[in-house]
Amino acid sequence: MSGLTAHFLFGLKSGAESRLFGADFQPEMRVDSSGKRRFLKKMAAKLDEIRNAAERVASTLGLDVVDVEFAAAGREQILRVTLEKNAEGRAKLKAQIAAADETELAEWPEALREGTLSVEQLSGITHQDCAAFSRDFGVLLDVEDLVSGGEYLLEASSPGLDRKLKKLEDFARFKGSLVKVQTFEPIRNNRHWQGRLTEAAGEEITIDLGAVKQNSKSRKAGVSVVEIALGNIEKAQLIPEI
């Protein structure tokens, strides 16, 4: 309930991509100007199916799916699902904190009491939530054969205070928070930006760079505010203020 990342592993043994996605898995890659491989189309399509299944299960448990990804840890392949309470559950959490007395508030992070941590950054997720989701989701994965012939670890967790931001709705929800963003293409010769998220509307976000110490490339850019198109964001996440 603190909002700090908690991981719960359920599951099977490791395996290779061909086992995870079937023997006929043929990756297709987009390569950017630097020669880096950006994504696998067929893998992305399979992840879409898995995410849809995860969302169906999560909705029955009062949860929202924040992210779904396959990750490699040594020889192990991990199917990682990040969860949080749904809007109704988060509203109840906010009301609970608002009504808490000093003794009850002492159980919550100091940053929350001081106002540097937003209630929105608390996922409200519990071990019981993750266990129930993993049990039901694991059954559905097997029934629908969404991981063809694959061996993997299923990991369910909270997003943590350094949660990833992907959709416009994510950026709008956490407006006012500190963020760090990496772009596909450089802006003023820099791909790494961090600062206070001040706007998220249309197809871009705005970051106030004065909120944090900048790297040398950011300083050389000679701007105090940077606007970044959503389509140019490779990855983004919150910076915890604790």
Domain at 168-238, CATH class: mainly beta
Asked if residue 201 has pLDDT above 90, the reply is yes
Asked if residue 17 has pLDDT above 60, the reply is no
Asked if residue 61 has pLDDT above 90, the reply is yes
Q: What is the mean pLDDT of the chain?
A: 82
Domain boundaries, the chain: 7-86+120-157, 168-238
Mean pLDDT of 80-87: 94
DSSP states of the chain: --SS--EEEEE-----HHHHH-TT----EEE-TTS-EEEEHHHHHHHHHHHHHHHHHHHHTTEEEEEEEEEEETTEEEEEEEEEE-HHHHHHHHHHHHT--HHHHTTS-HHHHHTSS-GGG-----HHHHHHHHHHHHHHHHHTT-STT---EEEEE---TT-B--SHHHHHHTTTSEEEEEEEEEETTEEEEEEEEEEEETTEEEEEGGGSPPPHHHHHHT-SEEEEEGGGEEEEEE----
Asked if residue 84 has pLDDT above 90, the reply is yes
Tell me the pLDDT tens digit for each residue of 133-167.
Answer: 999 999 999 888 887 655 788 999 999 889 999 99
Cβ contacts of residue 232 below 8 Å, gap of 6+?
Answer: 183, 184, 185, 187
Mean pLDDT of 103-123: 80
| Identity at 58, one-letter amino acid code | A
* More confident position, 111 or 64: 64
Cα(161)–Cα(189) distance, integer angstroms: 29
- Residue 59: per-residue pLDDT: 97
Mean pLDDT of 49-67: 96
The CATH number assigned to the domain with range 7-86+120-157 reads 3.30.70.1350
Tell me the pLDDT tens digit for each residue of 24-38.
Answer: 444 444 444 455 544
Q: pLDDT category, 181, cuts 50, 70, 90?
A: very high
Task: Name residue, tokens 């997720």.
Answer: 125
Of 95, 85, 115, the residue nearest 3 (C-alpha): 85
Asked if residue 18 has pLDDT above 80, the reply is no
Helix (H, G, I), strand (E, B) or coil at 85: strand
* More confident position, 54 or 98: 54
Tell me the pLDDT tens digit for each residue of 219-229.
Answer: 888 899 999 99
Cα(91)–Cα(64) distance, integer angstroms: 13
Of 180, 168, 164, 163, the residue nearest 204 (C-alpha): 168
- Residue 105: per-residue pLDDT: 83
Cα(185)–Cα(139) distance, integer angstroms: 41
Range of weakest confidence among 36-40, 113-117, 128-132, 143-147: 36-40
- Residue 26: per-residue pLDDT: 41
Mean pLDDT of 194-214: 94
